Structure 1
Amino acid sequence: MVKFVVYIVVAVLIACVCCTTLEYKPAKMAECLSEVGVTEDDIKEIPSNDKNKIACFWKCIMEKTGVVSADGVVHPDKVEIAFPEVAPKLPAAVLNEFKTCLGTVGNINSCEDVQKIRSCLKND
């Protein structure tokens, strides 16, 4: 039962992180939109017409907030900086499970590597 609740909460996190309504905007969003060349509408579009640009947008967010360093190393302890409105609302166990998973994904060196982070959000 606890695992089911964890998956539900993570699913809510996915919805927030994907900015489907853009009520919540991750730190550095405007900067990364400009840098990558996407718009808020592009981010809201599901499925996206340009998945690579969207992945590059998320890589930019992760790098600008310190979750991913310039050399691709993932720093799970920085998640709250990247997602300051979402992370504090998650139960500690869910946030810790997500951070633990992030610590196992390896380096994020390309936009496509962002998919490794998504694996931490899946209900497998």
Structure 2
Amino acid sequence: MLRVVVICVCFLVIAPYGINAVSDEQKIKIREQIDKSGFECFKDHKITEDDIKNLRARKPATGENVPCFIACVMKKTGVMNDQGVIHTEPVLQLAKKVLTDDKDIKKLQDYIHSCSHVNSKTVHDKGQGCEFAIQTYTCMSANASKALTDEQKNKIQSKFIEIGAECIVEHPISIDDINSFKNKKFPSGVNAGCFVACIFNKIGLFDDKGNLSHNSALEKAKGIFNADEEVKNLEEFLNRCAKVNGEAVGDGVKGCERAKLAYNCLIENSLEFGFNIDF
């Protein structure tokens, strides 16, 4: 059973939800990479039978050795460096040994980065990494279930393209502006703010006062998200950026300046909630 737990811990890192099905051959390669390190960690940081069952089921494990056990596994597989900080590059190199699709590797990279904010949290065991490890594991467990499917991404992208084509007529933007949006950066073009405000209005993110108000967007989202927890995740994502309504802007109900604030906030938080969409 321990072997299953070690593989569960590592699969959260190298096989997140949304990556194409991992073949039996790839699973064998993954096991070869992590079995030895997992058993070494168990010798140094013994965990209980209950902890093993909970980790296997991806549920919270409360045993006192669990954080350091996970930290040990993460260090040996390259997710965490010797200073106890989450480190993405080594695990990406490990993943490339079993993943051959560039799109899958990109999804993995985004997935790992979605929990990089853990490094900025205050912990009391600097260097050991035990607290960082359990926080990262919890984050990855949550984000693995949040990730959008390819079908959901395609539906969202199609809708944005359709509405964007309407808004670009009213608020023309340049090729440079479009490229900035593709790179998830807010462009410097004079019409960029009003272009985004137009899109936000049409998808229901903005109300007629130029404020972020997502009730209409949530109703429309039910055509894309079937599960209640997916809609709830979207609601939490949008609520994260409700703070922009309190920011001072100079264009009132027009909403162009607030659209920039909302866009930047949504992009900043997109990975954490599994809404990484390429345009």
1:24 aligns with 2:158: yes
Structure 1 gap segments, 5+ residues each? 11-15, 17-22
1:97 aligns with 2:243: no
| Number of equivalent positions | 115
Cα distance, 1:55 vs. partner?
A: 2.5
Please state whether the residue corresponding to 2:158 is helix, strand or coil.
coil
Residue 88 of structure 1 aligns with an amino acid whose one-letter code is: F
* Closer, same or farther: CA 25–66 of 1 in aligned 2, 3 Å: closer
Normalised by the length of structure 2, the TM-score is 0.31
Would you say the 8 A contact 1:73–1:106 is kept in 2?
Answer: yes
The aligned residue for residue 256 of structure 2 is 111
The aligned residue for residue 207 of structure 2 is 69
Please state whether the residue corresponding to 2:178 is helix, strand or coil.
helix
How far apart are the structure 1 equivalents of 2:239 and 2:187? Answer: 31
The aligned residue for residue 78 of structure 1 is 216
How far apart are the structure 1 equivalents of 2:218 and 2:175? Answer: 22
How far apart are the structure 2 equivalents of 1:106 and 1:35? Answer: 24
* Closer, same or farther: CA 105–50 of 1 in aligned 2, 3 Å: closer
Residue 38 of structure 1 aligns with an amino acid whose one-letter code is: I
Normalised by the length of structure 1, the TM-score is 0.58
* Closer, same or farther: CA 81–29 of 1 in aligned 2, 3 Å: farther
Please state whether the residue corresponding to 1:28 is helix, strand or coil.
helix
Cα distance, 1:36 vs. partner?
A: 0.4
Please state whether the residue corresponding to 1:24 is helix, strand or coil.
helix
The aligned residue for residue 13 of structure 1 is none
Q: Deviations over 1:33-88 (max 9, x none)?
A: 10001267742444576344223211111123332122113221222477788x62
Residue 101 of structure 1 aligns with an amino acid whose one-letter code is: R
The aligned residue for residue 38 of structure 1 is 173
Counterparts of 1:40-55 in structure 2 under 5 Å?
A: 42-45=177-180, 46=183, 50-55=188-193
1:59 aligns with 2:204: no
* Closer, same or farther: CA 61–101 of 1 in aligned 2, 3 Å: same
The aligned residue for residue 3 of structure 1 is 139
Residue 103 of structure 1 aligns with an amino acid whose one-letter code is: A
Would you say the 8 A contact 2:244–2:261 is kept in 1?
Answer: yes
Would you say the 8 A contact 1:52–1:111 is kept in 2?
Answer: no
The aligned residue for residue 122 of structure 1 is 268
Residue 31 of structure 1 aligns with an amino acid whose one-letter code is: E
What is the CA RMSD across the aligned residues, in angstroms? 4.2
Would you say the 8 A contact 2:177–2:189 is kept in 1?
Answer: no
Would you say the 8 A contact 2:200–2:259 is kept in 1?
Answer: no
Residue 97 of structure 1 aligns with an amino acid whose one-letter code is: E
